[in-house]
Structure 1
Amino acid sequence: MTRRVVVIGGGESAEHDVSLATAAAVAEALRGGGFDVVELTIDRDGTWRRGAEALGAPGTGSLAAALGVIGADVVFPALHGPCGEDGTIAALCALAHTPMVGSGLRAGALGIDKWATKLVAEAVGIRTAPGRLVAAADIADVDFRASAVVKPVSAGSSFGVALARDASELRDALRCAARFDDRILVEDVVRGREIDVAVLREADGRRWASPPLEIHADGLFDTRSKYDGSARFSVPADLGDTDRAALTGAALRMFDALGCAGVARIDFFLTERGPVLNEVNTMPGMTAESQVPRMFAAAGLRYEQLVARLVDAAAVPGLGRSPVGV
């Protein structure tokens, strides 16, 4: 029997366009694998669409109409950032009793919050950059101490992330970050290689880590370098056995500590003292050229196989989630 999968893209966050690319790629791969695919798009104003057709009246009417479509075998929320990856859609699917690809509400909410993620990491023995939490309302009172990386607490694709090397740059960086969140993280600069590891949970409950990927970028790996083609990736990263084991072990510990399901990308800096956690993405970019598919391709898992396995795992009740889906 052909399984029906609803793929959701777009969303109200700054990553709207990135999400559209992920959703289109996932939908194409699933159709190629024999799934019956329905595509839904969330506009920037929150309106749900099926193709060009707006569902229901604006506001709650649109959401109510979308719920009638979401009742599928599996929902694949190809959404990044707030009002999507942060557990919002996971909660909606849980209330609708619809199986969903990826992490539930709890893991999504913790994973998108960079401050909360740091606290979880430190609790399980994974180093993070020293940092401080700043309220957007208080940015005028923040003093410059040393060069720092400034980032919104809950945003992805490096939107609002900047390197501040003096007091003037710090003020500008804080103002920019405040456009994306009312909580801002100011972290010490970490010197090290940028290494990503992806973790996948299979339908049988087993979870395993991909070969690590190294990012080569001139300066900060910001939004521009992520999408303008200037950054290069090496996968598998050129690592010794000790470093590879340390990175893989830390990635698996973070995946488990947050309670992730589906796939997650865990980003590190590899320093002379070992891995330092950068951030966690519970619904990372998933075009065929994105980092996560590249990593699993290096392990022999093709893109079409990867998205099909995510659907397979989602169909297993309670896998990686609490009984109520969160």
Structure 2
Amino acid sequence: MSIPLIRLVVLYGGVSAEHDVSRVSAAHVLAAADRTKYRIIPVGIDQRGVWHRNDAAAEAIAAGAELPNSLEIEGPTVNPFEVLNGPPEDLTVVFPLLHGPHGEDGTVQGMLELFKLPYVGCGVLSSSVCMDKAMTKEIAARAGIPQCRWITFRDGVDDARQILTDVEEQLGMPVFVKPANMGSSVGVSRAQNREELDAAINHALRYDDVVIIEEAVVGREIEVAVLGNTAPDTSLPGEVKIGSDFYDYADKYLTGAAELMIPAPLPEDAIAQIREYAADAFIALRCAGMARVDFFYEVGGRGWLLNEVNTIPGFTPSSMYPKMWEATGIAYPDLIDRLVALALEVHRRRSSFSTEH
């Protein structure tokens, strides 16, 4: 008797500035997923928030055809509940590849919880907390994980003039300015003086009403992939050698100017320490399934400094998360299998909780 295929619904696109990155990630996950284990249902969400069942991509997968580098948002519009919930006899797992707001921030995860469906990755709380860099920093600080100095500015709450003075006095220049709830370096600027800082804050406010201003750290950019639930595994670290002033959107996805070194050339004790910090951050932030934890390494200075935690890291050919696991001994198709198994483990545990008074 053959084992029934798992119905794997891959969500991509989304209402986010990272829409295009998601389409590339989805194409490569679909190409790598083991077709003897999964019946893949690609579902694209356009930038208006409308859901489309991509039948053309599903047919190409079934026929063994090669997929394009970036998956289109095409096909008939569908009701989310109907496309996510397959026949009762099918085991469905949802794989959200929705980078940024409206996908990585707990919104889609909350919907999937209401639908009682297993899904890959972090739950509602950890997704929303890790998406908000300000909240991530607060929790990491309580957990004793070292970080660079920062100031949070909330539009409409904090004094817009005072923040410029506070940054100059407490952090100095230059600084980096980021929207609290965004990824892929969207909305990030480097400011070297008061005028540039004011412009950078206004630029970041295009994407969010909470802005993080961080001291500029002169250090190496090192990342660790984390995989697991309550007892997570960590990968060998990877290093990003940037091609511009900082690791920006163009370096990550357009120019290919950034050099990725996996494993990062580091002493063994430094590798052990960063892997421990990555696991500590994953657990403190209540992550599940996967995350990529990014650090700065100040050689001869403070050592490791947590930068941020990404709960839906990129899965493109140039993305660090799958590359670090490949270097650690887990191939791309096996990584997908592990993530699906972890999703089912979390779902079984949550489904076992009592709903009785």
Partner of 1:61: none
Identity %: 39
Partner of 1:55: 77
> What is the distance in 1 between the residues matched to 2:349 and 2:238?
25
Residue 135 of structure 1: CA displacement? 2.2
Partner of 2:232: 207
After TM superposition, list the pairs within 5 Å mapping 1:79-228 onto structure 2. 79-137=98-156, 138-139=159-160, 141-143=162-164, 145=168, 146=172, 147-201=174-228, 206-217=231-242, 218-227=244-253, 228=255
> What is the distance in 2 between the residues matched to 1:253 and 1:236?
20
Partner of 1:304: 333
Partner of 2:260: 233
Question: Which of 273, 284, 300 does residue 313 from structure 2 map onto?
Answer: 284
Question: Which of 11, 18, 25 does residue 14 from structure 2 map onto?
Answer: 11
Partner of 1:69: 83
Partner of 2:64: none
Residue 140 of structure 1: CA displacement? 5.1
Matched residue of 1:151: which SS? Answer: strand
Residue 207 of structure 1: CA displacement? 1.8
Contact 2:117 2:347 in 1 (8 A): no
- Where do 5+ consecutive residues of structure 1 fail to align? 57-64
Normalised by the size of structure 1, how large is the TM-score? Answer: 0.91
Partner of 1:254: 281
Instruction: Kindly provide the amino acid, as one letter, of the partner of residue 15 in structure 2.
Output: E
Contact 1:211 1:235 in 2 (8 A): yes
Contact 1:104 1:321 in 2 (8 A): no
| Root mean square deviation, CA, Å | 1.8
Residue 245 of structure 1: CA displacement? 1.3
Instruction: Kindly provide the amino acid, as one letter, of the partner of residue 9 in structure 2.
Output: V
Question: Which of 22, 25, 28 does residue 22 from structure 1 map onto?
Answer: 25
Residue 98 of structure 1: CA displacement? 0.5
Instruction: Kindly provide the amino acid, as one letter, of the partner of residue 55 in structure 1.
Output: T
Q: What does the per-residue CA deviation read over 1:7-56, in whole Å, with 9 as the maximum and x for residues that have no partner?
A: 00001010000011111211222254531000101111111111233425
Gap change, CA 1:34 and 1:240, over 3 Å in 2: same
Matched residue of 2:164: which SS? Answer: coil
> What is the distance in 2 between the residues matched to 1:41 and 1:207?
30
Matched residue of 1:82: which SS? Answer: coil
Aligned residue pair count: 314
Partner of 2:65: none
> What is the distance in 2 between the residues matched to 1:140 and 1:248?
40
Instruction: Kindly provide the amino acid, as one letter, of the partner of residue 265 in structure 1.
Output: R
Contact 1:139 1:175 in 2 (8 A): no
Runs (4+) off by over 6 Å: 319-324
Normalised by the size of structure 2, how large is the TM-score? Answer: 0.84
> What is the distance in 1 between the residues matched to 2:120 and 2:347?
12
Contact 2:164 2:198 in 1 (8 A): no
Which has the higher Rg, Structure 1 or Structure 2? 2
> What is the distance in 2 between the residues matched to 1:320 and 1:264?
20
> What is the distance in 1 between the residues matched to 2:349 and 2:247?
31
- Higher RCO, 1 vs 2 (CA within 8 Å, ≥6 residues apart): 1
> What is the distance in 2 between the residues matched to 1:215 and 1:148?
20
Residue 322 of structure 1: CA displacement? 8.8
